[in-house]
Amino acid sequence: MSDYTPTEPSPVPAFRPVEYSDITDSLRNGWVDFKRLPGYGLFFGSVYVLAGIAIFVLLSLYQKPWMIIPLAIGFPLVGPFLAAGTYEVSRRLHAGQAMDPGGILGFMLRQSRREFAWMAFVVLFIFWIWMYQARILIALMLDMQAFSSVDALSSALFTTSGGLGMLALGTVIGGILATILYTTTVISMPLLVERDVDVVTAIVTSWKTVIANPGPMLLWAAVIGGVTLVSMVPMFLGLLVSFPVLGFATWHLYRTTRIAD
């Protein structure tokens, strides 16, 4: 059982201004946590990697190559929910609490009975919107063509005007959705792990923090997005390390900018 089980509503913490140095410090601390507890980090990273590989294999087997690109781009959108495990690992590590695998997994399972479950719904809803708009773009710009292989899809995307237009428009729409999701979750996810607050309050707190610190917080978004995309080549394997490191780092960013009660 987790050493931290909130039973009463907790006050919403205040946050100090986020500095650019907080980004580099958080990344450094995330890497230190990974080196101290590589087993936990690799466990969460492997779950993420295996899920990505499974999606790719299933789409190939069922000859749905058109879904591979939107799923590959949209797949990181569901990462924040799995990252709850990395937040709990870092929280325990720096609180000097026991690193109990069963307790950490139990903590993650118990989130389904807390406000965190509503956040999972928000994340998956945005992911569903992303997949739906990708299908619409293919229908409009590639005339509902059926692609029998990834090579055929790639050829249509990169050698035709419709494919290039789809990539451009899809990038813009995907960027907007990713920004909305990031702003919604970057503070609210670790806040829900640490405090017993309602999901609306957590989301509002996250939006206020990002709006109040646009430069550093957008830089952090760019770091997360860039590292994640690079780590997905080849076959998601880089996420074995980058996913837990970014999870640990996100917890550190939250903790270092939160003003202690």
What are the tens digits of pLDDT across the range 72-117?
Answer: 555 555 566 678 889 989 989 988 888 888 888 887 777 666 777 7
- The two structure tokens encoding residue 32: 């230190």
Q: Decide: 119 and 141 in contact? Cβ < 8 Å.
A: no
Q: How far apart are CA 110 and CA 62, in angstroms?
A: 34
Lowest mean pLDDT among 60-74, 145-159, 200-214: 60-74
Q: Decide: 18 and 217 in contact? Cβ < 8 Å.
A: yes
Asked if residue 68 has pLDDT above 60, the reply is: no
Do the domain assignments include residue 6? Answer: no
pLDDT in the model for residue 5 = 46
Do the domain assignments include residue 79? Answer: yes
In this prediction the pTM is 0.80
Do the domain assignments include residue 5? Answer: no
Which single residue is written with the structure tokens 């997360």? Answer: 224
Helix 161-185 / helix 214-231 crossing angle, nearest 10 deg: 120
Structural domain range at position 124: 20-257
Q: How far apart are CA 47 and CA 88, in angstroms?
A: 16
Q: Decide: 188 and 199 in contact? Cβ < 8 Å.
A: yes
Do the domain assignments include residue 176? Answer: yes
Do the domain assignments include residue 4? Answer: no
Do the domain assignments include residue 86? Answer: yes
Do the domain assignments include residue 3? Answer: no
The fraction of the chain above a pLDDT of 90, given in percent, is 32
Residue at 76: amino acid letter: P
- Closest-CA residue to 151 (of 68, 209, 89): 68
Asked if residue 1 has pLDDT above 50, the reply is: no
> How many structural domains compose the chain?
1
Do the domain assignments include residue 1? Answer: no
